[in-house]
Copies of this chain bind each other. A is one copy, B any other.
Amino acid sequence: MSIVKLGYVELAVSDLDRSKAFYVDTLGFIETTRSDDALYLRGVNDFDHHCLVLRQGEVVPQWNEIGWRVDSEAAIDQLQARFQGDGLQVKECPDGQESGLGRCIRLIDPLGQPVAFYHRMEQVETYARKSHLWRGAAPRRLDHVATTTADVKVAQAYYEGFGFHTSEYAETQDGEDVFLAFMHVTSHDHDIAFVKKAPASLQHASFWMGNVHDVVRVADVAADAGYKDAIEFGPGRHKATNSFFVYLFDPDDNRVEFYTDGTWIPDRDLPPVRWTFDQYIAEGRLAWGDKAPESFRSQLIPGKSSL
């Protein structure tokens, strides 16, 4: 059994129309469908039904769920048995209950993070070669999430069990523990990152852009549309993972990143890049440019803590 990819992120928002104005009308996500209480969005390169769900909620910002695609229906059964065997509460979501999504199971996982596992998602038409319909900065697809967790080594071991591998990590100041780990199951540098900090929270969800121009275009279209203050950090260059980024707050203070470049690494067995804490702070975090604002560390998106 293994995880295939990060399939979707669900965030809580307070006003669907306001979220649509930001994500669809300004940034250029494609709206696949809308239910009574949620928007199902995808990037222009996606053939999956959605990679971002924005659900009307009382508590915002909030990380409701990340959805991992597994390699078979049987894998869902195995996971259900395993988690129940471990005494965790697992909620089954039948095929079609969630728009576009096959059967899935939901739980607050051993790391305290709200996750789902699914195998099937409705395939829809990609906008990859419908570029005449692109709007805004036309995000391509979901890339990764960055989360906080009390013990990064525990998180690494847990995700290694799903076939993940650490591509880069930074040690804690004393060199005895792990401060930050980038983990991947696909061929890109990371599908999930873990930062040592309790409780389990989302630092950001990251979407792939085609190139540096389009990351800059995120800042341009956001500011031009009146979301200037929503741009928290960047555009800039991370040296760790070698990526070019910009971070924005959505209207409910969910943090989303738009990302390009990065490291191609199909190998899931090579020694990861190691940064000491001081190296990471001095160099790894930023190849150049202004330090991250205080909010970048202090302001997190709480994970939903019960089903």
Q: Which A residues form the contact surface with B (CB < 8 A)?
A: 4-5, 25-26, 45, 47, 69, 71, 123, 128-133, 135-136, 140-141, 185-188, 208, 210-213, 216-217, 219-225, 228, 231, 235, 237, 239, 242, 244, 261, 263-264, 266-271, 287-290
A288 B71 Cβ-Cβ under 8 A? no
Q: Decide: A289 and B219 in contact? CB cutoff 8 A.
A: yes
Measured between beta carbons, the chain B residues less than 8 angstroms from A287 are: 129, 219-220, 223-224, 228
Given A132-B225, A213-B213, A239-B129, A69 and B267 contact (CB-CB distance below 8 Å): yes
Kindly list chain B residues whose C-beta atoms are within 8 Å of the C-beta of A136.
132
Q: Hey, which chain B residues are within 8 Å of A131, CB to CB?
A: 217, 220-221, 224
How many copies of this protein are present in the complex?
A: 4
Interface of A, helix, strand, loop or mixed by DSSP: mixed
Q: What is the distance, in angstroms, from A146's C-beta to the closest C-beta of chain B?
A: 19
Additional A-B contact list (4), CB under 8 Å, known A5-B187, A123-B270, A187-B188: A5-B266, A211-B211, A219-B288, A223-B288
Q: For the complex formed, measure the closest distance between the CB of A213 and the CB atoms of chain B, giving whole angstroms.
A: 5
Name the distance in Å between A257's Cβ and chain B's nearest Cβ. Answer: 15
A269 to B73, CA, bound (A): 12
CB-CB under 8 A from A267, the residues of chain B are: 4-5, 69
> In the complex, what's the smallest C-beta–C-beta distance from A280 to chain B, in angstroms?
14
Tell me, in angstroms, the Cα distance from A162 to B97 when the chains sit together: 36
The answer to whether B128 touches A288 (Cβ under 8 A) is no
> What 6 pairs between A and B have smallest CB-CB spacing?
A211-B211, A223-B288, A132-B225, A187-B187, A5-B266, A186-B266
Q: Are B220 and A288 in contact (CB under 8 A)?
A: yes
Give the CA-CA distance A129 to B129 in the complex, in Å.
Answer: 27
CA separation between A223 and B45, bound complex, in Å?
Answer: 17
Residues of B within 8 A of A288 (CB): 219-220, 222-223, 228, 231
**A239-B129, A287-B228, A290-B290 are contacts. A4–B211 as well, Cβ < 8 Å?**
no
Q: Can you sample 16 A-B contacts with CB below 8 Å? A: A4-B266, A4-B268, A69-B267, A129-B220, A129-B239, A129-B242, A131-B220, A132-B224, A135-B135, A140-B264, A187-B188, A211-B213, A216-B235, A219-B289, A220-B288, A290-B290
A45 near B219: Cβ-Cβ < 8 Å = no
Q: Which residues of B contact A237 (CB under 8 A)?
A: 216, 219-220, 223
Contact B45 A263 (CB under 8 A): yes
Q: Are B187 and A266 in contact (CB under 8 A)?
A: yes
A239 to B4, CA, bound (A): 25
The reply to whether A269 and B211 contact each other, CB–CB distance below 8 Å, is: no
**Considering residues A135, A242, A287, which has the most beta carbons from chain B within 10 angstroms of its beta carbon?**
A287
Contacts of A220 in B (CB 8 A): 129, 131, 237, 287-288
In angstroms, Cα B222 to Cα A79, docked, is 47
